[in-house]
Each structure stands twice: as structure tokens, then as C-alpha cells.
Structure 1
Amino acid sequence: MKKIVMLCAALVFSAFASEPEGQEYEGILTTPECAAQGAFADCYLENYACGSDGCFKKIDAGERGKPNIALFQHATGKTYKVDVSKLKVSELGEGMNKNGVVIIGTLDDATNTILASEFKAPPPPKKSFFKGCL
């Protein structure tokens, strides 16, 4: 009887341990400046490194600032700042300027910031083969 109770307890704890903490937020991963301008596909990658278009002309080579990342939701029209201190910034490159990015975390209403605990990039597009004459 004890073995059954211990097995059930282990299954319950493992089910709760695997769930990510927080809510899911889906949208386009960009910078706050690009989201304010509505320039999602035209947002230069230097915005992620130093914060604005042309900022590499103003800073020394090799200097990098804190990543300034935002999530824009089309359905609501809201832009949330994303705190990525718990994530590896190198992994976020898969979702930059892409729609369908899912950020899992908790929302701080006072600063309108999502404290990210997990990141899911959208799947890559399927390969297609074009048959025909160009």
C-alpha cells in the first residue's frame, strides 16, 4: 500500500514540476522603438544590440548595451517590454522580427514588463519545391 501511495505522490509532483510558471504571451519579438514605428520587417538588427537605427556610428566597436526587447501583440495592439535576464540572449535570435513567438512569464503591471521564464520560437517555414517554368 505504501508503494502505491509513494508512486501516486511522485506522479503528482512530477506533473506539477514540468509546467512552466506564468502566462503565455504570443506576438512579434522586436524592440520598443520598432514597435512604436510599426516597422517590424524593416527593423535593423543593430536595434537589438545598441537600441536604435544608426547607433553603431555613435558607439565604439565591440560595445554592447543591455538588450532592449519587446513583444507586440496584433490582437490587442499592446507592446510589452520583455525582461530576458533568466534566458540566454543567444537563443532569442531565432525569434527576432518573427510573428508567432511565445514568451512564458509573469506580467508586472506597474512597468508593463513580462518577466520571461521561457521562450518558444515559431517553427521554420516548410521547404517547398517549385515545379514549372520561370
Structure 2
Amino acid sequence: MIIKINMKSETPIYLQLRNEIVKGIGKGEFEIGESLPTVRQMAAELGVNTMTVSKAYQLLKSEGFIVTDRRKGTIVCNPQSDENKLGGEFQEKLADELELLSAEASIRGMEQEDFMELCRKAFQRMEVVYL
């Protein structure tokens, strides 16, 4: 997978990296059990500080997307194996993010049907179904 980072974006680089990896998992570009590059390798590939990559990996780890094994390195895992699955904190976070996106779309004059179609298309691009 090619990870795209926009150095001019107002979004912090570690968050861009986190988001790109999550999208990659969702699209099946990163498979469950696959090893991610080491922090140093990823930093070198992207031309960023190792602390930036480390921060992104720590966030992904806390959210249940990756695990770290001293022997195997950083491994993509199934976030549904967590007890939260679709409940609690995740749903609250998702609702907040969708509310913000909905507000921005509405303010900019987007119709609800157009917004829903964009959401539908984005969700359909996610190929992986984790059970």
C-alpha cells in the first residue's frame, strides 16, 4: 500500500498516517496478521521523524488495529476481537465525527441525499468484512 502524507495539511502527520493505515485495513490493502514496517522503516519511507510514526502506531494500538510483538513486530489485528466491537466508545466517536461531517456538508449546501450517497460509496470501497 502506498501511504499518502500531505506535509502542508493542517492535520498532524501522525493522524494522517493513522488514517491511511485504517483505510488500508478497511480496503484489504493490509490483511489481518500482516506485519507493518518498523517505526524506523516507516519514518524513512515517509521522510518523517520516528516519534511521529511511533505516535501513530501507539494510537492504532490503543484503538485495537495493531498489536506489537517483540518477535514478530507490529501486526495488523482484527479490531472486532475487542469487547467493544460496535458499542460504547467507538459508536460515540463515530456519531461525533458523522455529526461534524454532516454539519460541514449542510453548511456548504450539500443535500442530504448527496451526502448519504457519498457515505454509501465510501463504505462500499471497504472490501474487508471481519467476523
Q: Above 0.5 in TM-score?
A: no
**Between Structure 1 and Structure 2, which shows a larger proportion of helix residues?**
2
Question: What is the TM-score normalised by the length of structure 2?
Answer: 0.28
Return the index of the structure with the highest Cα Rg. Answer: 1
**Between Structure 1 and Structure 2, which shows a larger proportion of strand residues?**
1
